[in-house]
Every structure is written in C-alpha cells, then in structure tokens.
Amino acid sequence: MSLSITHLGTGSRGNSTLLESKDAKVLIDQGFSGTQLEKRLGLLGISPQEIDCIVISHHHGDHGGGARIAQKKWDIPVIANERTVQELDLDPMKTQYFEALDIMKIGTDLSLLAVPVPHAGADNVAFVISHLGERAAIITDLGSWTDELVQHVRGCQHISVEANYDAKRLMSGPYPYSLKERISGRGGHLSNDQTGEFLSLVCTEKTRSITLTHLSERNNQPHLAESTVLYYIDEVFEGDIHVSSQDGPEITHFIGSDALEKKQTLAELNR
C-alpha cells in the first residue's frame, strides 16, 4: 500500500498537507478557515470528520490558526508541542503533546518524527514521515538548516520544502530593510538558492519527488524557484519536481510499494 501526500495549499495565506494511508488520514498544519478546509478536502472527496488528527508544526497563524476551529467544529484531535498549544489556546481535552525528536505513531502504518528547525519566534519543527519502510519530509518556515535535519531527511523518497523567495527580488523590492533582514536571516525563510543547496545535501538515488512550497507571492515566481533548485540538484536528482501554490489541492505524490502504479494510473487519467 502507498502513502499519498497532497498539499491543500501553501503560502502566507494558509498551509495544510493531507497524508493518507490505508489506516490513517492526517493533516500536517491547519492554517485555513473551517470553510476553506472543508472546501479543499471536499475536492478530494474527503470530509473533515474523516481526519484522524492534525499535527501542527508551529503556532504562526498560516500554519496553526485553524486548529482550534477544527477542534470545536469537528472534534478533530490536535498534536503539537507545548509552546504551540499555549500560543494557539488549544482545547486541552482534544490535544496531545510532542517534544523535539519524538516519534508519533498514527494508525498501524504511519509515524512522524518531529525535527527542530530554526525559525524566529516559534518552536518550529519539520516532520519526517515513515510508512512501511519508506520516508517523506515536510519542511517549511526555516531560515537555515541543521546537521540534524540533514541527517534525518537525507534519502527520503519524497521531500516537500519551502523555496520562499528569490534573493534579488526580495532585496530590490519595496519591503522595509528590517523586514528584508528578518526574512533572509537564519530564523526567517529559505531563498531559492538556499533550498537548492539544502536539497543537494539530502537528495540521493532514493529521492523520487520534490515539492517546492510556501513561495512568496511578491518575492518569487514558480519558474524561478524550480530553475534555481534544479541548478543545484541536476546531477543528483532524476525524479519529479513540482511547485505548490496557495490555491490547492493540485497534485498528489505517493510513496510505498504501489506508488509507481498509482503514478501511472493518474497519468493515464490526465491524458
């Protein structure tokens, strides 16, 4: 069986990613209103009541702002670290806690490892997902990376990672200098070049697909992000690369024993 990974939307106006295995449906982050979440899941033929839990990376509104809504409206359990729970004022009766490098087992065939990443003003984590011997990574909102993150992400079959801005566009744009410094700092976001450098460290022959996420609407463009990243990984990556937009869902990636078969089936349906 395979694990499907579908970004419901990524960007400054909301982020959420659906993981679906045989035994579990999990959201990583919930930065949308209840109406938007219901609409986006509905495009995949899923109702919010089918979601087993929501795992939150950090408390910033575009990642966790809709978590309490989901608890209230649909009784969906939330898993988050202590600071995130406090900042989002989550319902303690419907919330579980994790700490850095904890492994969360969900259902019989899914586990998530929480890996700390640098992001100012938040105890942010990346998630490395394991499913029947294969792995995927969801990484967003970080201004740099750590050796620990490289160690855990290297060789994942799928990697979703932010490529937030093009450095030239950011620096020549209208933002105040203080904001430019914050975005480009160690606790800010990854530029296209930084994302390319990171992927050059973690991609191996096992890596079959990459999704670039959380692109700035003002300071980036999909073609810039993709071409810049490919410059860095051209010799180490031969798989599929896609760019996720704010208005998802658009594409589903699969890892697992029947992933190639599912990919072929989707390709046939889209002819």
For residues 15 and 151, give the distance between their C-alpha atoms in angstroms, rounded to a whole number: 25
pLDDT higher than 60, residue 271:
no
Asked if residue 161 has pLDDT above 60, the reply is: yes
Across the chain, mean pLDDT equals: 94
pLDDT by residue (tens digit) across 41-93? 999 999 999 999 999 999 999 999 999 999 999 999 999 999 999 999 999 99
**pLDDT over 70 (residue 236):** yes
User: What is the pLDDT at residue 55?
Assistant: 98
For the residues 217-228, what does the mean pLDDT come to? 97
Whole-angstrom Cα Rg for the chain: 17
What percent of the chain shows pLDDT beyond 70? 94
List, in order, residues 6 or more apart from 119 with CB less than 8 Å away: 58, 141, 142, 143, 187, 188
Over the stretch 69-83, which tens digit does the pLDDT of each residue have? 999 999 999 999 999
* CA–CA gap between residue 186 and residue 182 (Å, rounded): 8
Each domain of the chain, given as residue ranges in start order, spans: 2-269
| Of the options 1.20.1530.20, 3.40.605.10, 3.90.580.10, 3.60.15.10, the CATH number for the domain spanning 2-269 | 3.60.15.10
Average pLDDT for residues 218-222, to the nearest whole number?
97
